[in-house]
Amino acid sequence: MAPRSRQRRHKKLPSSVAPVPVTPPTVVTPVPLTPSKPGPSIDALGFVSLENNVPGLSQLILQKLNMKSYEEYKLVVDGGIPVSGFGFRCPQEMFQRMEDTFQFCAHCRALPSGLSDSKVLRHCKRCRNVYYCGPECQKSDWPAHRRVCQELRLVAVDRLMEWLLVTGDFVLPSGPWPWPGEVVQDWDTWFSMKGSQLDATLDAVLGSHAMTTLWASVGRPRPDPDTLQGSLKRLLTDALSRPLTVGLGLRAFGIDVRKTGGSAVHVIGASHVETFLARPGDYDELGYMFPGHLGLRVIMVGVDVATGFSQSTSTSPLEPGTVQLSGHRDLYHDFWEQQVETGQIARPDLAVAFHPGFHSSPDLMEAWLPTLLLLRDYKIPTLITLYSHQELASSLQILVELDTHITAYGANPFMSLKPEQVYSNPNKQPVYCSAYYIMFLGRSCQLDKRRLEEKVDGGV
């Protein structure tokens, strides 16, 4: 193990790298989480940042959700029960209130409460996803909106179709891969492998009572079957992107998943996105990617891990072919000191961070720094994902300054294909989860800073 003095070094970033702001079955062990420790929450920072672009938007969201404060909102996200009258009388009310949270003028940022009696917010008829307080604002905004209108139409459909994943009416196709894992290199080969099995699953969802009920509840015309099937496929890639990206890291680092006792993956900086609605089969696809594995233990660690998620301190060997999910609410470097160093939790064969965001905020960078140094000094194979090329460039710069050995970076073949809208800035170009990745292992980057900058500036 690396000396503690190296592991716990909290050095400051050089001024030249100041963070750049960017506008077989799975087993879940039902053990309560340990109490949360103070730490910067990317969820909280994201919620508060809504006010930067649309003053009053966060309060509008709370109002439409029948909540009184962000703390109450966070309680629900964590799986708790709020003290006020949170809830909806029927699906129609829920969908309408959800849609109401998107109602502000995309051009002048006016909320419904700030409009005169003669004005009303109306959505763009093409995408049904952005609103305007009048023809003047819509006309002025068109040069910006036209660049993203088609993608935002997909966002509006996916936002509603996602409810079928929440209710369990859209169950992801699962089962052993008929093709060797090394053949499945991207989504094209994955979809080809699934073939008729996937088509039958999607057809069943399209013809289900749940699909009919969904579109009757949202109060808008039901899209054509091709549009709905496309949405289901995008949602599928969004759900499976994380396990398959983990598999990409295991494969790239040449990690032996057939070692006695099983292998461990630590998902660092995990939040409610990975844990709030987690189900036992969420990482089954990772197991099928590596037939013959002797057990995969996936541990989610982060200050925003949902309260209802599980914790397991067992280090006993896993049954071959099983994937175990568990969670721990803490900062990773504290988790390491208290759980890994004491032998209660296995040292990871791979560490993964989905959108860590350390490039975007000084507070987040301060929290991530001891973890990044720990991963570097203990020579833990590490993979992080990013939304955009800008985030890739900024994060590479920071990791180079930290003297990490970057082994690979580029476009992720298993990125989510579901476009993500910037909530409070709707005409900003949508992004895609885990669109890029960076892998590093230990110290001493073999690419010097100038060559790295040239490669990034010239495209990946």
Of 252, 353, 257, 249, which Cα lies nearest the Cα of 299?
A: 353
SS3 59: helix
SS3 331: coil
The enclosing H or E element of 406 equals strand 404-411
Strands 122-123 and 382-386: unpaired
Query: Which tokens belong to 457?
Result: 């500036």
Could you state, in chain order, the average pLDDT of each consecutive group of 10 residues for the chain (460 residues)?
35 33 34 41 63 75 74 66 64 79 90 85 92 95 95 94 92 91 96 93 96 92 95 96 98 95 94 79 94 94 81 70 91 94 93 94 90 97 96 96 95 97 87 97 68 60
CA distance 427 to 432: 15
Give 239-275 as a DSSP string. HHHHHHHHHHHHHHTT--TTSTT-EEEEEET--HHHH
Instruction: Yes or no: say if 371 and 331 are a contact pair by the CB < 8 Å rule.
Output: yes
Sign of CA dihedral 100, 101, 106, 107: positive
CA distance 135 to 142: 10
SS3 323: strand
Of 369, 326, 361, which Cα lies nearest the Cα of 344?
A: 326
> Rounded to whole angstroms, what are the CA distances from 313 to 30, 33, 111, 359, 364?
11, 11, 48, 32, 27
CA distance 274 to 241: 11
Query: Which tokens belong to 451?
Result: 């060559």
**Angle at the Cα of 416 (from 413 to 421), degrees rounded to 5?**
135
Sign of CA dihedral 12, 17, 21, 22: negative
Query: Which tokens belong to 415?
Result: 């990125």
Decide: residue 81, CB within 10 A, 0-12 exposed, 13-18 middle, 19+ buried.
Answer: exposed
Q: Which residue has the tokens 């006993």?
A: 316
Give φ, ψ of 170 to 5 degrees: -115, 100
AA identity, residue 287: G
CA distance 418 to 144: 21
pTM recorded for the entire structure: 0.82
CA distance 236 to 240: 6
Query: Which tokens belong to 94?
Result: 């829920």
> Rounded to whole angstroms, what are the CA distances from 97 to 42, 90, 133?
25, 11, 19
Write down all domains in the chain, each with its CATH number in brackets: 24-38+241-457 (3.40.50), 54-146 (no CATH), 166-235 (no CATH)
Instruction: Yes or no: say if 404 and 440 are a contact pair by the CB < 8 Å rule.
Output: yes
**Residue 453, Cβ neighbours under 10 Å: how many?**
15
